[in-house]
Amino acid sequence: MGTVTEEARLLVAVAYGEGSAKDVFEEMAAIASVMVRQAKARGYTLLQFLQSKEAQEFSFVLVDGNARFDRLMNATEEAIGKDSGMKTAVKAARHAIGGLTDYSNGAWFWDGADLKSNYARHQKVNRGIRFSSDNHNIYSVKEKSIPEVVKYWEVKDKNGVKRNASERGRYTCTYESTTALGGTVFWRYTREYLQATGGKEHR
């Protein structure tokens, strides 16, 4: 692995821990790219972000005792050099830090096998998901729409009370896929959701 900073090892461990046991380079590089992009969008250095509670909200391996994450964090550089999966994770993290090809296709989020195993209670599913390509539906789950949500611009009346004005937008789906690699589906917010809510792409 060579001399490595704390932030690089953390990113390698996230890519390895979040990635599937297939140890697919593009999958781990895509996960690492999302983390790098999230850090920049939130105004953090990569290390600050990886150590933040915000990062823990969508990369659970940082806090849930994930065996692959822990294995890499505790591995010596010699052990990493002898393990093909860990070496691939190192390559993937360096790829993302270097700003090379973004295999996630601009994603801000991802999901693994829990998309299927926890489908009924899955946070993204219950906010509406759609696949931009059938090839992204690697777990063969159903797309889900929610009852149409209509958002309005707000203005203050003469008494300073906020009132709805013209319509801002409407949506029936919050997330759309950008790609699927290995065992991971990558997501971004739908254009309709962002227009209606005025939300940030990374939040």
Distance CA 78, CA 80 (A): 5
pLDDT at 1: 47
- Total domains, the chain: 2
| Domain end point (choices 65, 87, 103) | 103
- Read off the pLDDT band of 44 (50, 70, 90): very high
pLDDT at 4: 56
- 160 domain-assigned: yes
For residue 169, the surrounding DSSP H or E stretch is strand 162-171
Residue type, 174: T
| Domain end point (choices 45, 71, 103) | 103
- 203 domain-assigned: no
- Which own/partner pairs from 117-125 qualify as long-range (CB within 8 Å, at least 24 positions apart)? 124/174, 124/175, 124/187
Among the listed residues 181, 101, 102, the one whose alpha carbon sits nearest the alpha carbon of residue 135: 181
What percentage of residues in the chain have a pLDDT greater than 70?
98
Residue pLDDT, tens place only, 55-84: 998 788 998 889 999 999 999 889 999 999
The parent domain of residue 43 ranges over: 6-103
pTM score over 0.85: yes
Distance CA 78, CA 104 (A): 30
Same domain for 144 and 71: no
Same domain for 18 and 96: yes
| Domain end point (choices 50, 79, 103) | 103
